[in-house]
Amino acid sequence: MANDAFTERGPNNSLTDVGRIRVGHVTLVSGDGPLVPGRGPVRTGVTAIIPDDDIYEHKCAAGVHVINGFGKMTGISQVEEMGRLETPIALTSTLCVWHAADGIVDYLLRRHPDLGRIGPTCNPIVGECSDARLNDMRGRHVRAEHVLDALDRATRAPVEEGAVGAGTGMICYEMKGGIGASSRTGRSSVLDRAVTVGGLVLANFGRRRFLRIHGCPVGTLLDEAAAPRDAAEPGSGRGGSVIVILATDAPLTARQLTRVARRAAAGLARTGSVYHNHSGDYVLAFSTARAYPPFLGDEDDLINPFFEAAADVTEEAVIRALLCARPMTGRDGYRVEALGAARLRDIWDRWRRRPDAAPGSATTAALDLEGLVGPRVLD
């Protein structure tokens, strides 16, 4: 009986630990002061994910899960129907979805002269979250050329996280959010090789009082410690959204990848998400494996490690988005503070010294911030 587990972080703890995946950002920041619709201030961007060097020719098995469908993620109905991914993925601001789709189509048209002529068309995948609280969203400042630039910049380096690319203007748990990434790796007894599961989130969701990190009620403790003027604004967490991208180099089927995608919700829930009415929460999972048979079976010990890893990388990617982001002031002078590693460590230390903390429990354990986000975030 197999007893696989994917519990170790990948070499870069990033989506780019999987296969030949590359990720690139374009960040657009300009202007200050009052909102002038169509002009600024601008706090937005785009993040591009290239699953394979030639995804149009080497399509990936894929699955989709919609946790709460208050959103505008393009192309997912065809992924659900056909079980495959055939274009790069773009993440951006809500009203720029169609510009981003144009950019993906332009990217593929330049590389494939037969596309739409004697070859098949393409199905661009674009996910979105609203950055309207910090950004002049009516200006639709992300254009097709920015998507092309992000695709050209895409590398296999560790994903830059925080308020970059699509995450530039995003707010998570009423603090600065954005892009986060993580990965898990372990040995598959069936494949007789190492397997990696990676994730990337665009985090723009949640009410601060619900935020929990490894069981610590961070949001509640933040509000308890805040001066009245620093407390979260009433109603400021009414909606928001999250896009989760999961990938593995294991040869999973589209059906299995859909099942893996569903487990991202467990990771989001660990951080405090309850998928509010106006939250658009979407998960796309794909495999970079080109040689499919034999597929992994659905026996508990074989498929459960993928479920566990999907939850783990999603949870950690959200935490990393919060910790990597920096404070930002946007339109109309609205400022969003960051959680920050030092602030989290202080909250954790106060929590673990509570009189009711049981000796030896998780409550009394030290928080491994360096393991969680790496030394560069703690600098």
189 is catalytic: no
Q: Is 279 a catalytic residue?
A: yes
Report the C-alpha gap between 21 and 286 in whole angstroms.
11
Crossing angle of the two packed helices 254-262 and 300-324, in degrees rounded to 10: 50
Q: What is the DSSP string of 38-76?
A: TTB-EEEEEEEEESSTTTTTS-EEEEEEEEEE-S--BTH
Find, among 132, 314, 328, the residue nearest to 236 by Cα. 132
Lookup: tokens for 27: 């960040």
Contact 246, 313 (CB under 8 A): yes
Which of 188, 241, 273, 287 is the catalytic position?
241
Single out the catalytic residue among 14, 281, 287, 312: 281
Which tokens in the block code for residue 58?
């080497």
On whether the CB atoms of residues 123 and 24 are closer than 8 A, the answer is: no
> Would you call the peptide bond into 41 cis, given omega within 30 degrees of 0 as the criterion?
yes
From the list 14, 182, 188, 279, the catalytic residue is 279
Full 3-state SS string of 178-246: EEEEEEEEEEECCCCEEEEEEEEEEEEECCHHHCCECCECHHHHHHHHCCHHHCCCCCCCCEEEEEEEE
SS3 of residue 128 by DSSP: strand
Q: Looking at residue 366, what DSSP letter applies?
A: P
Could you list the active site residues?
241, 279, 281
